[in-house]
């Protein structure tokens, strides 16, 4: 592991994150996908109307948010990052989780995502998100729109963000769903969109739980791949489908859009002044911890 760093040396933190991505004993040998999911769930609680939730404050450290069943499994991501926090104690958890997500995406072959620091670990109880803010995979396009419009995203942005399911997998123990979306789940690409439209996805009921997901056999590896009901909603809804087709054909446009929209996700609920300093959180109580 690389040495300690001076406060504000985010490149040193990025390097420490890259150093921990290889995890031979963990899923597909990589901590990358679960780090991306941690970044997304830390931010995806945002509600534009009440200006609550979002990545600032790193509320998932506490039971009310961390214990949300939607966040099951993310303790692995938080634990992977503990040595990085110990090595660079000046960085806040809120910055670390979001920086680790964008770093992992790029290290797995994805785009460079603009990321800005300054989040604090101060939790304002009145801004804590209630449970139920994150999407429910068993539902359809109305639910997806309800969740993502609440954060301020449009249909194109929703589809671009959903492309993160190029990475990682579902675990029975976490969500009840099982399997991976693509055959190389630690390589960021537009394969998820290509498979959505090229394969014939068949409903599959998991024998022990009765949970319904969708399955197809990968034409090259002959492995079984999966889609969630919410993934399938992207091809059953004409507005969403149009963007699935675009991204399936144009990897560069997908990467460009994904970088913009993931960056926007990481910034939800954060306002900055001209110098980039966050103006809407109590920096006296958070900021760099030295």
Size of the site for ligand DDH (CB under 6 A): 25
Q: Does 151 bind ligand DDH (CB under 6 A)?
A: no
Could you give the angle at the alpha carbon of 19 between the alpha carbons of 2 and 266, nearest 5°?
Answer: 105
Q: Does 177 bind ligand DDH (CB under 6 A)?
A: yes
Q: Does 96 bind ligand DDH (CB under 6 A)?
A: no
Catalytic (active-site) positions? 41, 181
Q: Does 73 bind ligand DDH (CB under 6 A)?
A: yes
**Structural tokens at position 217:** 């056999």
Query: In the complex with ligand DDH, which residue's Cβ is closer, 84 or 182?
Result: 182
Q: Does 30 bind ligand DDH (CB under 6 A)?
A: no
**Structural tokens at position 87:** 């090595």
Q: What DSSP element (H or E) covers 85?
A: helix 74-87
Q: Three-state SS across 15-56?
A: HHHHHHHECCCCHHHECHHHHHHHHHHHHCCCECCCCECCCC
Binding segment for ligand DDH among 7-15, 35-43, 83-91, 193-201 (CB under 6 A)? 35-43
Strand partners, 216: 225
Q: Does 54 bind ligand DDH (CB under 6 A)?
A: no
- Per-residue burial over 234-273, b = 16 or more CB atoms within 10 Å of its CB, e = otherwise: bbebeebbebbbbbbeeeeebbebbbebbbbbbbbbbeee
Binding segment for ligand DDH among 53-61, 172-180, 239-247, 270-278 (CB under 6 A)? 172-180
Q: Cβ 63 to ligand DDH, closest distance in Å?
A: 19
Q: Does 37 bind ligand DDH (CB under 6 A)?
A: yes
Query: In the complex with ligand DDH, which residue's Cβ is closer, 81 or 137?
Result: 137
Q: Please identify which residue in 16, 213, 230, 281 interacts with ligand DDH, judged by CB under 6 A.
A: 230
Determine the Cα–Cα distance for residues 71 and 66; give it in Å rounded to an integer: 6
The residues of the shown chain that bind ligand DDH, judged by CB under 6 A, are 27, 33-34, 36-37, 40, 73, 135, 137, 144, 161-162, 164-165, 167-171, 174-175, 177, 228, 230, 262
């Amino acid at each position: 592991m690389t040495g300690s760093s001076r406060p504000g040396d985010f490149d040193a933190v990025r390097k420490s994150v890259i150093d921990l991505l290889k995890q031979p004993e963990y899923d597909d040998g990589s901590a990358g996908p679960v780090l991306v999911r941690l970044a997304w769930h830390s931010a995806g609680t945002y509600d534009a109307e009440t200006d609550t939730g979002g990545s600032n404050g790193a509320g998932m450290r506490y039971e009310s948010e961390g214990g949300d069943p939607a966040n099951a499994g993310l303790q692995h991501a938080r634990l992977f990052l503990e040595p990085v926090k110990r090595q660079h104690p000046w960085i806040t958890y809120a910055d670390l989780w979001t920086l680790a997500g964008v770093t992992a995406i790029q290290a797995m072959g994805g785009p460079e995502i603009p990321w800005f620091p300054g989040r604090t670990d101060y939790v304002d109880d009145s801004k804590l998100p209630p449970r139920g803010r994150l999407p429910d995979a068993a539902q359809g396009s109305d639910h997806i729109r309800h969740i993502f419009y609440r954060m301020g995203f449009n249909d194109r942005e929703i589809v671009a963000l959903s492309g993160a399911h190029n990475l990682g997998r579902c675990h029975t123990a976490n969500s009840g769903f099982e399997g991976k979306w693509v055959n190389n789940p630690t390589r960021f690409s537009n394969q998820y969109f290509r498979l959505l439209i090229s394969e014939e996805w068949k409903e599959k009921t998991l024998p022990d739980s009765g949970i319904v997901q969708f399955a197809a056999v990968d034409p090259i590896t002959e492995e079984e791949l999966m889609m969630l009901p919410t993934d399938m909603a992207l091809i059953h809804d004409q507005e969403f489908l149009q963007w699935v087709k675009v991204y399936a054909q144009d990897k560069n446009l997908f990467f460009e859009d994904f970088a913009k929209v993931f960056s926007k996700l990481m910034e939800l609920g954060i306002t900055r002044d001209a110098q980039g300093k966050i103006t809407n959180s109590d920096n006296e109580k958070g900021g760099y911890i030295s």
